[in-house]
Structure 1
Amino acid sequence: MKLNLSLQQNFQSPELVVKRAHIKKVVETALRHIETQSDCEIGIACVDNDESHKLNLEYRGKDKPTNVLSFPSDLPDEMAAILDSFPIGDLVICIPMVLREASEQNKAALTHFTHMLVHGTLHLMGYDHETSDEDAEEMEALEIEILAKLGFDNPYLERD
């Protein structure tokens, strides 16, 4: 599996400097963990609170910014079969929200950003945590496993 990554860093912060290589490694690790075989394309945009708020309101009807938004590709399976590289979709990560949550949860900013990247990638691949407790448990277990492969602790453990 090969990953083609399109990255837009519309918002950057000195508290969270993330290299393209890290993002690519995280997404590739997540996709391999769920046994994605085909070459993939993903778009990732790092945005501010205003952009996240606008998109969250427009696409989810929620009048506030959010940490990560996932926009899965809606290509039919038969189209995917003829493409060299399958577009799995786009992620929009709100950097100020990730920084705030990391601080509130006593986590390093890179740790929380990495978790949101894994979380969003799983959403793009059809995983959901809002429809049932069983689905949420499955998604959380995958996140824990993927993050462990990357050398990160369980993000759902309480921090002091």
Structure 2
Amino acid sequence: MVQIDNAARPEDLPTAGEISGWAEAALKNEDRTVCLRVVGEAEGAELNARFRDREHATNVLAFPADEPGLLGDIAICAPVATREALEQDKTLTDHYAHLVVHGVLHLLGMDHDTPASAEVMEAKEAQVLRCFGISDPYGVDA
């Protein structure tokens, strides 16, 4: 299950159904809840500073949980997502899909800390996104 908290209230946020669909596809058969919060620039910067010691907002953060039934929390910074979509010449919906899937995969334990782990994670992201007709965000099938 996916719980969505649209704190930033961007007008161009994909629907709850789209967001849930992307997350559920990445979750596969995990029977745990993901909480996704859409944040603004200030909250995104605060979270990134507090948890990653970086003084700027980032596109997506994932916070694994230790509670039964809860996989964890994801924060997506709406202004950063919008800027990146424009810079990368992607639709905003496709970019949100990528960020949701990316966040869920982090909650499932995947990372991109080494070239090998990045390759595995990026391949999984592309596989999930293809199910929705979305091109590989890393340009491999572009």
**TM-score of Structure 1 vs Structure 2, range by shorter chain:** over 0.9
Q: Which residue of 2 aligns with 1:137?
A: 119
| Length-normalised TM-score, structure 1 | 0.84
Aligned partners of 1:22 and 1:116: how far apart in 2? 13
Q: Deviations over 1:58-84 (max 9, x none)?
A: 011011100001000124xxxx4xxxx
Percent identity between the aligned chains?
Answer: 35
Q: Does 2:61 align with 1:69?
A: yes
2:129 alignment partner AA: L
Q: Which residue of 2 aligns with 1:83?
A: none
Q: Which has the larger radius of gyration?
A: 1
Aligned partners of 2:137 and 2:91: how far apart in 1? 11
Q: Matched residue of 2:37: which SS? A: strand
CA RMSD of aligned residues (A): 1.5
Structure 1 unmatched ranges of 5 or more: 81-85
1:10 alignment partner AA: A
| Length-normalised TM-score, structure 2 | 0.94
Show structure 1 runs of 4+ deviating over 4 A.
Answer: none
Q: Matched residue of 1:54: which SS? A: helix
Aligned partners of 2:10 and 2:35: how far apart in 1? 20
What does 1:1-160 align with in structure 2 at a 5 Å threshold? 3=1, 5-14=2-11, 16-32=12-28, 36=29, 38-75=30-67, 80=68, 86-130=69-113, 132-157=114-139
Give the drift of 1:31. Answer: 1.1
Q: How many residues align?
A: 141
